[in-house]
Amino acid sequence: VRWQVLDAVSVSGGHLGAGLGVVDLTVALHHVFETPRDEICWDVAHQCQPHKVLTGRRSRIYTLRQGGGLSGFAKRAESPYDAFGAGHSTTSISAAAGFETARNRLGKNGHSVAVIGDGAITGGMAWEAMNHAGGMGTKMIVVLNDNGQVSLPTFYNQVNQPVGALSQTLSASPTGLSIQGSIAKMETSSGFQSARQALKSATKSFLPEQLAKAAAKVDEYARDFVKTVPFKGSGSGGKGEL
């Protein structure tokens, strides 16, 4: 897939780095989710060349950005796999929240996924969408593709590098984030999940109902506690779930 994207963009032109940066992620998303039933909303969508290769458009990939050819972005009229058409940033989370709300109203199964970069997530619409979705209790998935290239702003006080609290949080706390990554890998491993389910079954079988409920609360609070990391530069010394 990586070679196909590189070869096609070298012929037709377009955004190369964005697409190459999400090849592994794109393969993983299509492996885990049942598209097009499960909507994948690509923020900006200039990184969707691998997505197009994997969704029945490989034979046309060399027509990218050509007259009558494939669009350089996601395009709903082009394929049912392009759930949301975009060409600018910060729209994916609100789109995914909308898809999930519609699915709930229709009583259908599935998942809505937003893929957004660390630059696009600095936009106000992304924060409004997260606030709205969280307030409604919307069950959706947001994948933050951290490129280390937070783009707003990029030049401040003569320092030619990404700046701001979000950039500092993502890039300047390797210890905290590496610990979080290790915890996430452990928590999602099949061995950990099997052991956790066995313990839950044991507590339900051998403990009185009230003690079993208390054990479930301890499990929930413990997992929430280890998912928090200090937000460097927040000014409050507080913690936030990442």
Per-residue pLDDT for the chain (242 aa), expressed as one digit of tens each? 999 888 888 888 777 788 888 999 999 999 999 999 999 999 988 889 999 999 999 999 888 888 999 988 899 999 999 999 887 789 999 999 999 999 999 999 999 999 998 888 888 999 999 999 999 888 899 998 887 666 555 555 555 566 666 766 666 555 555 555 666 667 667 787 788 888 888 888 888 888 888 887 777 766 666 555 444 433 433 344 33
Does residue 109 sit in the same domain as residue 201? no
Does residue 186 sit in the same domain as residue 223? yes
Residues 6+ apart with CB under 8 A from 124: 90
Looking at the whole model, is its pTM more than 0.75? no
Domain containing residue 233: 174-242
Does residue 138 sit in the same domain as residue 148? yes
Does residue 42 sit in the same domain as residue 151? yes
Q: Are strands 228-230 and 239-241 parallel, antiparallel or unpaired?
A: antiparallel
> What pLDDT does 152 receive?
52
Does residue 139 sit in the same domain as residue 198? no
CB-based contacts of 35-38 (< 8 A; 24+ apart in sequence): 35/81, 36/79, 36/80, 36/81, 36/83, 37/109, 37/110, 38/110, 38/111, 38/112, 38/113
Does residue 160 sit in the same domain as residue 181? no
Q: 111 with 140: CB under 8 angstroms?
A: yes
Does residue 34 sit in the same domain as residue 135? yes
> What pLDDT does 196 receive?
80
Domain count, the chain: 2
For the chain, report the end-to-end CA distance as a whole number of angstroms. 30
Which CATH number is 134's domain given?
A: 3.40.50.970
Boundary-marking domain end, from 172, 196, 212: 172
